[in-house]
Amino acid sequence: MLMEYKGNVTVKIDGIAASAASVIAMAGTKVCVSPVSMMMIHNPMTVAMGNTDEMQKAIAMLDEVKESIMNAYEIKTGLSRAKISHLMDAETWMDANSAVEMGFADEVLQRSVTDEIEIPQVSMVYSQAAVTNSLMDKIAEKCKIKPKTEEVKTKADSLMDRLNLLKNWR
């Protein structure tokens, strides 16, 4: 079944497009890659078991699959089939710039300096001070003690406050 899509398709690679994912990416009218992405191409692989005839069928099938994959790469890149075959034989890994240079991608994505970065509402960073303060607030609430005010205290004052807190907690 042949289906044809007449619109433009933009493929954005923001991680690793390896193996079959690199072939799928070739379907894009425009392929954009993140500066930290990678693309990998290699020869098709299979697992086969059986006699000589079965092994020869597996080899013939792999040859046909390689031809089909090379068609996708050739259409996108414009590279020669010999060059593509050598790249596949070598299991070639490409960073974003190499992918663009060789024609497997059209451009490297750039983040706009005006992009708003969402600040997470819940912080997952451990803070010993935050844990201690939270615990002290809960103890103070349980003991009906007023929380500390933001006045500046000396180290001795802070130690006395903690001592009194422990005395009253019993």
Q: What is the pTM of this model?
A: 0.63
| Cβ-contact 70, 48 below 8 angstroms | no
Distance of CA 131 to the CA centre of its chain: 32
Residue 153 has what pLDDT?
A: 64
CA nearest to 86, candidates 97, 70, 105:
70
Instruction: For the chain, give every domain's residue range.
Output: 10-108, 129-169
pLDDT recorded at residue 133: 79
Nearest residue to 21 via CA among 105, 112, 111, 133: 105
Phi first, then psi: what are they for 18, rounded to 5°? -110, 150
Each residue of 91-131: pLDDT tens digit? 999 999 999 999 999 999 987 766 666 666 665 566 677 77
Residues of the chain where predicted confidence (pLDDT) is lower than 50: none
Query: Mean pLDDT for the chain?
Result: 86
Strand partners, 93: 40
Point out which residues pair with 33 in neighbouring strands. 13, 108
Alpha helices for the chain (secondary structure H):
20-25, 52-77, 81-89, 96-102, 128-142, 155-169
Assigned CATH topology for domain 10-108: 2-enoyl-CoA Hydratase; Chain A, domain 1 (3.90.226)
| Distance separating alpha carbons of residues 57 and 44, to the nearest angstrom | 14
CA distance to 13, 42, 48, 73, 96, per residue, from 34 (Å): 6, 21, 37, 20, 7
